Every structure is written in structure tokens, then in C-alpha cells.
């Protein structure tokens, strides 16, 4: 990966904090549980780190650690997404089967 200067990284970090608070404060209380599982899914992005560690590993220690990280991160990504989708599907205006 290219080196990015620390100041650039910190700038992006601070902007992300403000953006995060801005966007999240618009989420209604009703959807807070899907919000939690949805953000759960998003922090599954560490899977990128797990792939990089495991993909570039050449000793057995790193391979072992990277493998476990890969299992954990993919459970996080896949589980987080499906559970959020399952929940959001339930939020309906009026059930169609009402007479």
C-alpha cells in the first residue's frame, strides 16, 4: 500500500467522526437495533485487514493468526449483513393480508 501521511489520515478520521454523528443522529429510535447490526456489518470491514495479513503471510505464525482473523471477520461480515436484512424486511407499513 502507498504510504499516506499521518496528517491526512487524522484529517480523514476527524471528518469521519463529524459525518458519522451527523448521519447517525438522523436514524429514528425505531431503527436503532438494525442500526446496531448494520454498523456491526460495517466494522466487518476489518476483513480487508485479515485478507491482507493472510494473503501476504509467509511464516506459519502469521498464517495461523491471519486464518483465525479471516474466520472471525467473515462471520462478522456475513452474519451482520443477513441479520440486518432479516430485521429490515419485517418493518412494513400495513400487512397485505389484512382484510
Partner 1 sequence: MISDPDVVGLLYLVSIVCFILALKFLSSPKHARRGNWVGGIGMVIAIATTLALDGISNWLLIVVGGLIGSVIGIVGARTVKMTAMPQMVALFNGVGGGAAALVALSEFHVSSGDLAGEEIVSVVLSALIGSISFSGSMIAFAKLQELLSGRPIVFAGQNIVNVAMLGGAAALGVALIAGADEQWVLIGLIVLALVFGVMFVLPIGGADMPVVISLLNAFTGLAASATGFVLNSLLLIVAGMLVGASGTLLTLLMAKAMNRSVANVLFGAFGQVQTGAGGPRVDDGRTVRATSPEDVAVQLSFARKVVVVPGYGLAVAQAQHDVRQLAELLEDKGIDVAYAIHPVAGRMPGHMNVLLAEANVPYDQLKEMDEINPEFPQTDVALVIGANDVVNPAARSDPASPIYGMPILDVDKAASVIVMKRSMAPGFAGIDNELFLEPQTTMLFGNAKDSIVKLIAAVKAT
- Looking at residues 19 to 38 of the shown chain, list those that interact with partner 1 (rule: CB under 8 A): 19-21, 23-38
Q: Which residues contact 46 (CB under 8 A, 6 or more apart)?
A: 69, 73, 76
Q: Does 60 bind partner 1 (CB under 8 A)?
A: no
Minimal distance, residue 51 CB to partner 1, in Å:
5
Minimal distance, residue 59 CB to partner 1, in Å:
8
DSSP 93: S
Residues 80-99 that bind partner 1 (CB under 8 A): 80-95, 98
Q: What is the CA radius of gyration of the chain?
A: 19
Minimal distance, residue 72 CB to partner 1, in Å:
4
Q: Which residues contact 44 (CB under 8 A, 6 or more apart)?
A: 73, 74, 76, 77, 80, 81
Residues 62-81 that bind partner 1 (CB under 8 A): 62-63, 65-81
Amino acid at each position: 500500500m502507498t504510504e499516506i501521511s499521518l496528517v491526512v489520515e487524522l484529517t480523514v478520521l476527524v471528518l469521519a467522526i463529524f459525518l458519522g454523528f451527523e448521519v447517525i443522529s438522523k436514524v429514528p429510535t425505531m431503527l436503532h437495533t438494525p442500526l446496531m447490526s448494520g454498523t456491526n456489518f460495517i466494522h466487518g470491514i476489518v476483513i480487508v485487514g485479515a485478507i491482507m495479513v493472510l494473503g501476504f503471510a509467509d511464516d506459519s505464525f502469521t498464517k495461523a493468526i491471519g486464518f483465525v482473523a479471516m474466520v472471525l471477520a467473515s462471520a462478522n461480515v456475513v452474519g451482520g449483513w443477513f441479520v440486518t436484512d432479516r430485521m429490515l424486511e419485517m418493518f412494513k407499513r400495513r400487512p397485505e393480508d389484512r382484510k
